[in-house]
Amino acid sequence: MDMVQLEEEGIGYRDLSKALVLTEIGPKRDPATLKLFLSNMERLLHAKAHGVRVIGSSTLALCHLASGAADAYYQFGLHCWDLAAATVIIREAGGIVMDTSGGPLDLMSCRVVAAGTREMATLIARALQTINYGRDDEK
């Protein structure tokens, strides 16, 4: 069952209280970055997200989203080569991929929010604090 079918059946894609949100820690593990990472998880939980999970693989998390097994995904530090194919797969499944600022996706920005609907992606993006990983085109 893909995202379009799930949305037509009204399964939780607009309601954060029913949403399973996936993320990954990212490559930086310094105290300041970890504090921001944990703060973002806490913000989503305070916003009443059903659950926030780190499953250990951004590729697997993005595939879970595209298949309908998860409702949203966000990450800071994900490189363009990790995100390009997943973006196509998610969009073909009917999902939304955008920048964590809520604007259009910039593959070089090393930050992403993806969800089954624009409403869900926007809810997630609004809750997040930015973790700066620089840009892939400046490295």
d(CA 98, CA 103): 6
State the amino acid at position 61 in one-letter form. Answer: A
Helix (H) or strand (E) holding 72: strand 72-76
Q: Does residue 15 have a known ligand-binding role?
A: no
Residue whose token pair is 């259009």? 104
Residue 28 token pair: 């930086």
DSSP secondary structure letter of residue 94? T
Task: Using DSSP, state whether 15 is helix, strand or coil.
Answer: coil
Rg (CA), the chain: 14
One-character DSSP codes across 46-64: HTT-SEEEE-S-HHHHHHH
Which residues carry a binding-site annotation for Mg(2+)? Answer: 82
Which residues carry a binding-site annotation? Answer: 82
